[in-house]
Amino acid sequence: MNHQGRLTRWNDDKGFGFITPQAGGKDVFAHISAYKGRGRPRASAQVHYQLGMDENNRPRATRFRTHGAGASTTSTGVWLAWLVASAVMVVLGAGWWQEHLPWMVPAAYLGMSLVTYMAYRVDKLAAAESGQRVREDTLHLMELLCGWPGALIAQQSLRHKTRKTSYRIAFLCVVLINLAALGWLTLSPDAAAIRDLIGFPVMAGEALIRWS
């Protein structure tokens, strides 16, 4: 059953708020994961919602959207995040397939992306429930260690860590450092010893230089 009310309180950083029912009664908890409209909810907006109960028998919106917002659609940001992450994995996979990269490089990006995505999800839930948060420097370290494609998807699909400008700037710096490190490791003559240690295939040109 659909109900109507007003989103009288909304904390966009933490991703939750409360709906005051139009028909009266207790305020209804609303979490961003239940939001099915476009864009971001805003305080004082009129909303339509479906009512449920949490584990403590308190009213909770199982689905909600602002008045006039259409049914849920995947945002451009989510599609772009998936496109970028998929492109990275395709390039790394092609590098392994053509024997330019060892298998552990695409495996590291895939594995760390999954770990980083789950860390974002844990932090998102903790923010909503006032639980133990994942430190921002820990998230950035995971991103630096090849997990940034998963972080990019998590930011857009979970609507998390997308509003804080300082975090977004730090994230961009982490991505650039990671890509620069990968480029240096793959192409620089100074990284030959590290490539040997990791198991990079020896390119024909590099083999000729070593032989000479």
> Are residues 104 and 150 both part of a single domain?
yes
pLDDT in tens, 57-86: 889 999 898 876 544 445 688 899 999 999
**Nearest Cα to 162, choosing from 15, 4, 5, 45?**
15
> Are residues 8 and 97 both part of a single domain?
no
Number of domains in the chain: 2
pLDDT in tens, 143-202: 999 999 999 999 998 888 887 889 999 999 999 999 999 999 998 989 988 988 888 886
29 lies in some domain: yes
Query: Domain of 186?
Result: 76-211
| CB of 127 closer than 8 Å to CB of 133 | yes
**Mean pLDDT taken over the chain:** 86
Gap between the Cα atoms of 88 and 93, Å rounded: 8
Listed residues 66, 96, 118: the one ending a domain: 66
Listed residues 66, 90, 112: the one ending a domain: 66
pLDDT in tens, 94-116: 999 998 899 999 999 999 999 99
Residues 6+ positions from 8 with CB-CB distance below 8 Å: 17, 18, 19, 20, 27, 43, 44
61 lies in some domain: yes
- DSSP-assigned letter for residue 35: B
To which residue do tokens 């966009």 refer? Answer: 12
Q: Please, what is the angle between helix 165-187 and helix 148-157, to 10°? A: 150
